[in-house]
Structures are given as C-alpha cells and as structure tokens.
Structure 1
C-alpha cells in the first residue's frame, strides 16, 4: 500500500466515513429507482464540494487545495466502494486541463466554479463505441468546434466540456452550437451523445496534452474500480462467513478458501498498480506507462472479481435484492472507458518501441 502522510490519511478516513454514512449504496439505489433522469444527487455533490473534494486539483489561487493526485485517488476509491454517483472524475480532470492550459481567462472564469461545485465538467473524447483517440474527427475552424462525441459521462449535467479535436484539447461551454441526447448504458448512470455545431471553443493545449489528460482519466477511473473490487471482495467474504450450506459455514470449504485467497492476491496486485499510477502522476515519472498498467490491471481484476462475486453469492447474486449486480454493470462500463485491456497493452507495447 502507498505510504500516506497525515493529511492524506485524514482525507481518506473522512471520505470513507462520509461515503458510508451519507452516501451508502442505498443512496445510489434510491437515485436509480426514482428515474428522474438525474445523473447524481445535487445535494450530495454540494456536500462533497463543500469538503473540498471538487477542488483537489485546482490551484490555491483559484479556490482549490492543489492536494495532488494521490489525494484525489483516495477520495475516488472510497466513493467507488459505495457506488456513489458523482461527477468527481470529470471535474478533477477538467480542472487539471484548464489549470495546465493556455487560456488565463478560462482559468479565472472556470476554476473557482469547478472548485465550488457550481460548474460540472465532462470529458468528450470518443466518437464511437470503442475508445479510439487516434481516430478523432472533431475539428476547429476559426475558433468554432464541429463534431460529435458518442459517449460522454455526465453530459446532461455538464456546463463545460473538455473536448478532444484533431489538433488538441478545447474547452466548450454548453449553449450555442451544443446539443445533448441521452444514452442508456448498463450502469444506469448519466451518459449522452454531444453534438457540436460550430460551437465557440477555447484552446487549452495540443494533441500531446490530450493524451496526458487521458492518462489521468485512466488512473482516476482505475481508482474507482479499485474501490468497487475491494467492496465486492469484502462483502463476498462476509457472505461466505455467515451462509450455511450442508450444515457448514461456506467459508470452511477449502475450495472456496482457495478462490478467495486468489482474489485477495489479485486485488493486492491491482492496488499496487493503481497506487503506482497515482505516485507516477505526483512525481511526473513514466506516467503513460503507469496509466496503461493501472487501468489494464483494474480492468482485468474487477472483471474477475465481479464475476466471482456473483457466483460465490449463488443464485441470489443475480437478483436485484443484492447489490452485486449493480457493481457488475458499472464494472462493464468502466472496463471499456478510456481503453480496454487489449488497447492498453498495445499502447504499452508501443511506448516500449514494439
């Protein structure tokens, strides 16, 4: 496990306590079953922002804490454990992109609003069903962006979009030239197709910066997946310890003990990869490689853990009464966001010169 300083440990503990008490899994179920179309609970997001979580990557001069990527990852992991619906990943990545970008006006206008939770940001990259950053068709001419993005998380709630175009990264405000159509995916979260028709755009950086943004999105998404995998392991272990079959507690069966031991080792390796990615971001060393390793390992382990959790719970694992199925559905969406394992292994090989 990563070695945390006192402030990071306090932040992790605060996030863990708040998520368990104020935004448990039942909060997600209530949001899902209400079918209001809202992607997240606005009051819960304001509470998160009030604790400073939205501004972790916002410089202090713009109202944030600039607390670093490890801190952001700790919060995202704890929220992942309870399957909390929030725009924190998109907001955090957008804040970094704007802070690193070319526009001082965008920094002054949008960073304080992101840190306070007033503005929601979404990342608009992929134009088709598969992650293919090398096949971007959106173009900017005379400061106007035209193109479509097929799968944008929190598109309906976003006030600004960080958009990957053929020549780099651009900021587009929702309004003139922007239309959003909702999409329904397996995880029942807020997704949408966004069409830009000569929408006014502000340049943030070149294509290299767009790739840097994607590496950060991969690592933070892997943090959410780590929280989900850890929760599935813990709840499955608790179930095996209390479920009785053939007059024996399931946890006493050696075959099941072996399976849980294997899963424990898999999650340990996943944690090492994800925390290694966060440390790479904070130290700015070999970030592209670390991002590939973190997200690919998260994809593989969460896929395995979600399948095993269903099976080890038996028939009830497939019912809506138990939360396991919600984790599996969310897992399948996240596994393909910002790159499948095959895509990331190919990218890692390319970075190594193969």
Structure 2
C-alpha cells in the first residue's frame, strides 16, 4: 500500500518560493510585462537569465550528473506557482519541464546539460493544446532530413533547440536556426505560439517519440496546475486588497455581504486547487498514481483559474477594464491555459477511463 502524499510545503520549498518571489518582485513588474506584450520581443531574456544562470532553476528536474539540481517536481511546481503569480514571460514550463522531460525519456545527457544551464532553450514541437496520450503530428523524414509544418508550438520563438517527432517514430533534435519560425496571433502574449516549418532540416535521432512525448505532456499538464494555482492566488489576493481599499458610501466595498460571498467562493476554490495541484506535483515526483493525479488536477484547475480571473476583472470595476491594470494578463493566461495540454473535459474523460467509470 502506497504512503499518503504530503501536500504541505517543506521549509526548503518555502525558502525557494521566497527567493523566486523576491526576484520576480524586482524584475517582473506588471507594467513591464504589459509593455513587453506590446513589443516584438515578448520573452524576457534578462529575467530568464536571472532565473536560470543566477538561480539554477532550469535544471531542477535534471539529474546532478548532467549538471542539474536533481530536485523533484514538487520544487519545480513551487517555481511555477510564482511564475504564474507574475505571468512571467519566460519559457520555463516549455523548456525546463516539457522539453526536459522528453530528453530525460531519451536519456540525452548532453542536451539535458545544455538546457540545465538555461543558456539554451528547448521546445517540444508538439501543439500546446494536446493532452497526454493524444495523437500528435509528425513531420516527414526523407533522405535523412526533416520536412513538414507544425503549428501551435508554444515559445518556439525563444527556442534554440526543437524536439521534433518524425514519421519513422523517432524524436529528433533540430537546431532552431535550421527551421523557420513564424509567430501566430496568440491570446496570451506572454506565452506566444508559432508555426515551425522544416524544409530539409538536419536532425539527430534521440529516441522513440511516442513515450517521450507522452511523458513530457503528462508532466506539462500536471505542473501547469501549479501555474494556474499561482494565477488564481494572485487574482484573489489582489481583489481582496482592492476591495478593502475601495470605498463606497463611506464603507469599504469588501464589507458588502454579496461581495464577501463571492470572495469566499474564490478562496474556497483556490484552496481546493492548491490541494489538487500539490497532489499532481507529488505524484509526478514519486511516480505513484500519476495519471489519475494529473487528470484530477487539470479537470479542476482550468475552470477555477478562469473564474478567478473573471471575478477579479469584474470586482475591480472600471479599473479592471483598463489596459494599464494587469488583470487582463491573468485572464488571457487563464483562458489560454484552459486549452493547454488538454481541456478540462478531455481530462475528465481520461479520468473516467482510468477509474473505470465511463460516461453512460
């Protein structure tokens, strides 16, 4: 019988949270994120360097023999919570989690060492909306070179290394410079999408694509819940703060009973989301009941994060509708995250099959 998961944060995890939050407070202010979304450089390279080269966070999931930290998904989830709280425009989930997990499955030690330093960004060239286990689009391998087009690839514009599935069943490492990356119009401008076109690109076969992609997407879906938790927690905290300060009829708006009920509902859902996200991170780190834990977390996380952001926008009133206020960043991220690595409906369907309770 497996041991019960410990969903509480350890002292080390809380210390990691404090360090990451301090860095983001200093280097990822909302006005700066908004300004970056309006530029042609959505990714914050300086912040990425501070997180990776400065703090070593890109290598949390990479074993020590490859130059990583040898940590677990629990610590990685804490980092993603804080990145979610700041809607930080860095490719952490796509490179330090998804691409890293694919490379771990292929035992590509040299590439893992490069991603662990943060000096190179890796991206799995699979559409962001795909759930673990879903069919993915391979490119054509012809004459030892790769040909084809892949669309909906998150953070491809920041990538140095593309991990590309091919029709021979292999996963190939391709230098981003050998591909054409065309930006797409994205709802969430802090995690932009792109189309990747390969026209005779050379590639190095790393291993079998199917198990590597499945592992990578499962970790991405499970740890995405931590990002959604951070997002929901920020929207709740900021909304409570605003309603305490905002006065109407010489009373704080937060004192009105109807708004108290809405805040209480936001708090309750966020607490439940924390439990689901922590359980998914713990399951990924131990390898126990992973598929069920990830499906539960994503079935719950997406609607909660979206509702929290929608409530925050409404309860901030006219201020919340302005472009200058950052709440729109959180709503767009929440909406985009609700489609990433499988919708809540797709995860509920997967969960029904896993626990042998299919829909009638």
- TM-score for the superposition, normalised by structure 1: 0.91
Cα deviation for residue 174 of structure 1 reads 1.9
Q: Using the alignment, how far apart are the partners of 2:68 and 2:132 within structure 1?
A: 32
SS for the counterpart of 2:157 is coil
How far 1:165 sits from its partner (Å)?
Answer: 4.6
| Count of residues in Structure 1 that have an aligned counterpart in Structure 2 | 346
The Cα shift of 1:198 comes to 4.0
Correspondence list, 1:6-155, <5 A: 6-33=11-38, 35=39, 37-49=40-52, 50-93=54-97, 94-102=99-107, 106-108=108-110, 110-126=111-127, 134-139=134-139, 141=141, 144-155=145-156
Q: How far apart in 2 are the matches of 1:159 and 1:125? A: 16
Q: SS state of the match for residue 4, structure 1? A: coil
The 1:351–1:140 alpha-carbon spacing in structure 2 relative to 1, beyond 3 Å, is farther
1:246 aligns with 2:265: no
Cα gap change, 1:348 to 1:191, in 2 (>3 Å): same
**Cα offset for 1:2?**
2.7
Superposed displacement of residue 299, structure 1: 0.3
Matches within 5 A, 1:1-354: 2-33=7-38, 35=39, 37-49=40-52, 50-93=54-97, 94-102=99-107, 106-108=108-110, 110-126=111-127, 134-139=134-139, 141=141, 144-165=145-166, 167=169, 169-176=171-178, 178-189=179-190, 190-199=192-201, 200-353=203-356, 354=358
Distance in 2 (alpha carbons) for counterparts of 1:2 and 1:130: 28
Segments of structure 2 that go 5 or more residues without pairing to the other structure are 1-5
Listed one character per residue, the Cα deviations across residues 282-341 of structure 1 (whole Å, up to 9, x for unaligned) are: 110111111111122110101111111111111221111211111111211111111111
Q: Is contact 2:101–2:215 with CA below 8 Å preserved after alignment? A: no
Cα-to-partner distance string for 1:62-116 (whole Å, 9 max, x where unaligned): 21101111101101111111111111111212223213315xxx422x2222122
Aligned partners of 1:228 and 1:302 also within 8 Å: yes
Scaled by the length of structure 2, the TM-score of the pair is 0.89
Greater RCO between the two (CA within 8 Å, min separation 6)?
2
Aligned 8 A contact 2:137 2:150 in 1? no
CA distance in 2: counterparts of 1:151 and 1:131, whole angstroms:
13
Compared CA separation, residues 318 and 130, structure 1 to 2 (3 A): farther
Partner SS state of residue 32, structure 2: helix
Q: CA deviation at 1:48?
A: 0.7
Distance in 2, matches of 1:140 and 1:267, equals 44
Q: Aligned-pair distance for 1:6?
A: 3.0
Across the aligned residues of Structure 1 and Structure 2, the Cα RMSD in angstroms comes to 2.1
SS of residue paired to 2:153: strand
* Structure 1 position 39, deviation (Å): 2.9
Partner Cα separation in structure 2 for residue 122 and residue 95 of structure 1: 9
Stretches of structure 1 that go unaligned for 5 or more consecutive residues are none
Once the two structures are TM-superposed, the CA of residue 130 in structure 1 deviates from its matched residue by: 6.8
